[in-house]
A and B are shown apart, each in its own frame.
Chain A
């Protein structure tokens, strides 16, 4: 569903190498957790996938569509929620959702079905007709998640989705991601919280200093990290190794 081949990206004319020769594959039906400490290059990677940044080298395809060559076609397949969503403050939540729905060409019925379900999950029912500027950070993030899911995209990309969500919402949200993947879609999300990755993901990729240091199922990772049993240990072990 998502495939990155030898993708690299530097900031400030090569001074900061944020992503370094990254190659990874997310098949349909999988929840992939992109795990790494702050500044590891998660957001940079995600921004390249959704078209906010251009990779210096390498190719990215979504559902077989090359992101660089056919960006609009690729974007139609992606739902994206950034880590700190800056939404249009002067629109109401409803107007924003309709705008996103219109540019994705989402039929009225689909909108009502998906939004209806998520509104309840996030208890955002009574806020939708208010201006986004009156929302709290968490409410904005919830709205951004709804906007990303509403087009029913083949690939859902979420950057640190749990930061603004309270425990109840995030539990419900996990179920939702699960169901989407059972229907053959894929979810790619980043997090620096091990616990989240461990509980939600089918497979985890660990990134440190722009390089993918390990990827696989939890079992595979444990094997790799010489039998450490918590991901915490595995994580420390692997990231230390890559630094040493």
Chain B
């Protein structure tokens, strides 16, 4: 094994630049500039996180209790670990592409006397550090719930901590290895696009694999249930059979202090360490090839004078006038869609769920009817389903960061927007239009699935789409407003514009407030006023439309002040 000297300094610098530690310290602790901002944000996030954790804890308790009834409370850990692994893998994959191949410090690191494996390991460490908040959020409630029911001594907690630390390592190694191989193989012009397609494909494959593993052949269902209730099936092994390390990790915790438990912990640790070795070796071989391939992007130079003339004619022919608003809209579209980082971070989360719905649409009609015939459609069910679908559409819009990073993404290119002779409100309109279109992409499959699965009356279907889009509009406009009020422009790496941007996070409390408000309004309309479903939907729609219109007016009229205030 080669010595990876310089690993620590590179890792430290990479952590610092990726998470903006020095910049934050300078800004908030030394200059004490707008200190209230992070406090407000952290506060509202804290409330949200607490709510989420309570929910997670209840779910975990339920799982532990259910498992205990079958004599296997540990299965709750297997579920939690698998959820963590899949999440880390999916989000890690997108992170890996951006940190491995698009970090701005790469041109500085590559000429240094470092092994490629060192850079890969340092970058890996940086991404890993970013995963722990999520890992703790998912695993800690389970650990607590399990400890309450089954008791937990110091050895139990020690194992929990060790497993927590190791949990994201293997899935991230898997993601990194895939990224290294992909980048080495995809070496041509439409690399950015191919990368997005490939990673979407990988994510779909992983999900499909998980789903197929969870399925029991139809003719064996009865027998399976009997064995399950009789405690003859090792649930942990069953759930974790797609990914054995999850089984080891579970046993390391639930059997902490025993010989098998220690053995499982050793196996889990050994697998993680071995994985790091494999990653370093892969990095040595593949990293520079993929990196350099990406930078070459061969500009084809015409050799002869004749070829130059052709190129010139072609270029001049391409110069054509278009309407200004269209040009502004196209700018938004192109600059977003051609940055894989933006597409992955800003757009994917809101698209993955609908994509799953599309998979669902492929289920044969007869089987679908079998399931949906159980749902007693009509009356209140349709009303609530309609609201829920509208809520899902708006929720997906809340995950969509096209609006809430819209000004921040301009970053050091903002000068262009400031020197072109265009009224600021027109530029903001183009941003709104782009966010709206990207929302339609995630909304359409959800509404379509509602129509196909549950077949509500046309009016309700239309209401779900309309309410959802109005709610989305409110969220997107508020997100844009926040980003206009406090854009993050000083990023050096597109990754930061969307990932280290607190404005994205601010969209979540707003979404939560919107949901709480809409639910309260709904129960008042139905319960308090005794309105029928359609009437209630109409009122909610009218309120949302009013909010959206107000938000639109404020956004557009704030545009002038925004572009006037920002200095670059």
Provide the bound-state CA to CA distance between A90 and B564, in Å: 26
Interface string of B68-107 (1 = CB under 8 A from A): 0000000000000000000000000000000000000000
Contact A90 B335 (CB under 8 A): yes
- Who on chain B is nearest to A127 by CB? B299
Contact B413 A116 (CB under 8 A): no
Provide the bound-state CA to CA distance between A82 and B412, in Å: 12
* Interface presence of B526 (CB below 8 A): no
* Interface presence of B318 (CB below 8 A): yes
Which stretch, A28-36, A45-53, A176-184, A230-238, touches the partner chain B?
Answer: A45-53
Question: Restricting to B309-356, which residues have a CB under 8 Å from any CB of A?
Answer: 309, 311-312, 314-316, 318-324, 326-328, 330-331, 334-335, 338-339
Contact B321 A131 (CB under 8 A): no
- Who on chain A is nearest to B303 by CB? A126
* Interface presence of A112 (CB below 8 A): yes
Provide the bound-state CA to CA distance between A134 and B297, in Å: 7
Contact residue among A71, A103, A125 (Cβ-Cβ distance under 8 Å from B324): A103
Contact B413 A87 (CB under 8 A): yes
Contact B316 A115 (CB under 8 A): yes
* Interface presence of B370 (CB below 8 A): no
A interface, over-half SS: helix
Question: Restricting to A90-109, which residues have a CB under 8 Å from any CB of B?
Answer: 90-91, 93-95, 97-108
Interface string of B277-318 (1 = CB under 8 A from A): 000000000000000000001010110000111011011101
Provide the bound-state CA to CA distance between A128 and B299, in Å: 11
Residues in chain B near residue A50, CB distance under 8 A: 418-419
Residues in chain A near residue B419, CB distance under 8 A: 50-52, 75, 78, 80
Residues in chain B near residue A75, CB distance under 8 A: 419-421
Provide the bound-state CA to CA distance between A187 and B35, in Å: 45
Contact A103 B334 (CB under 8 A): no
Provide the bound-state CA to CA distance between A93 and B419, in Å: 18
Q: How far is the CB of B35 from chain A (nearest CB, A)?
A: 17
- Who on chain B is nearest to A71 by CB? B564
Contact A94 B413 (CB under 8 A): no
Q: How far is the CB of A139 from chain B (nearest CB, A)?
A: 10
| A131 with B297, Cβ < 8 A, contacts A54-B567, A98-B327 known | yes
Contact A103 B312 (CB under 8 A): no
Provide the bound-state CA to CA distance between A42 and B264, in Å: 68
Contact B415 A52 (CB under 8 A): yes
| A90 with B327, Cβ < 8 A, contacts A54-B564, A131-B297 known | no
Residues in chain B near residue A94, CB distance under 8 A: 315, 318-319
Provide the bound-state CA to CA distance between A152 and B327, in Å: 19
Q: How far is the CB of B64 from chain A (nearest CB, A)?
A: 49
B interface, over-half SS: helix
Contact A104 B421 (CB under 8 A): yes
Provide the bound-state CA to CA distance between A8 and B219, in Å: 84
* Interface presence of A130 (CB below 8 A): yes
Q: How far is the CB of A2 from chain B (nearest CB, A)?
A: 15
* Interface presence of A17 (CB below 8 A): no
Contact A88 B420 (CB under 8 A): no
- Who on chain B is nearest to A79 by CB? B419
Residues in chain A near residue B314, CB distance under 8 A: 129
Contact B311 A103 (CB under 8 A): no
* Interface presence of A76 (CB below 8 A): yes
Contact residue among A82, A88, A111, A126 (Cβ-Cβ distance under 8 Å from B311): A126
- Who on chain A is nearest to B417 by CB? A103
* Interface presence of A171 (CB below 8 A): no
* Interface presence of A25 (CB below 8 A): no
Q: How far is the CB of A102 from chain B (nearest CB, A)?
A: 3
- Who on chain A is nearest to B422 by CB? A103
Contact A108 B319 (CB under 8 A): yes
Residues in chain A near residue B312, CB distance under 8 A: 116, 119-120, 125-126
* Interface presence of B416 (CB below 8 A): yes
Residues in chain A near residue B320, CB distance under 8 A: 98, 108, 111
Residues in chain B near residue A52, CB distance under 8 A: 415, 418-419, 567-568
Contact B321 A101 (CB under 8 A): yes
* Interface presence of A72 (CB below 8 A): yes
Interface string of B511-554 (1 = CB under 8 A from A): 00000000000000000000000000000000000000000000
Q: How far is the CB of A43 from chain B (nearest CB, A)?
A: 11
* Interface presence of B423 (CB below 8 A): yes
Residues in chain A near residue B339, CB distance under 8 A: 90
Provide the bound-state CA to CA distance between A125 and B316, in Å: 9
Provide the bound-state CA to CA distance between A99 and B329, in Å: 10
Contact B308 A104 (CB under 8 A): no
* Interface presence of A86 (CB below 8 A): yes
Q: How far is the CB of B481 from chain A (nearest CB, A)?
A: 22
Provide the bound-state CA to CA distance between A101 and B327, in Å: 9
- Who on chain A is nearest to B189 by CB? A131
Contact residue among B315, B335, B423, B564 (Cβ-Cβ distance under 8 Å from A91): B335
Provide the bound-state CA to CA distance between A127 and B335, in Å: 19
Give A residues with C-beta under 8 Å from B.
Answer: 47, 50-54, 71-73, 75-76, 78, 80, 82, 86-88, 90-91, 93-95, 97-108, 111-112, 115-116, 119-120, 125-131, 133-134
Give B residues with C-beta under 8 Å from A.
Answer: 297, 299, 301-302, 307-309, 311-312, 314-316, 318-324, 326-328, 330-331, 334-335, 338-339, 412-413, 415-416, 418-423, 564, 567-568
A-B pairs with beta carbons under 8 Å apart, 11 shown: A51-B419, A75-B420, A88-B416, A90-B338, A94-B315, A94-B319, A98-B327, A102-B324, A102-B327, A107-B321, A125-B315
Would you list the 4 A-B pairs with minimal beta carbon distance, nearest first?
A102-B327, A75-B421, A90-B338, A128-B315
7 new A-B pairs (CB below 8 Å) besides A50-B419, A82-B415? A94-B319, A99-B327, A115-B319, A125-B308, A129-B311, A129-B318, A133-B297
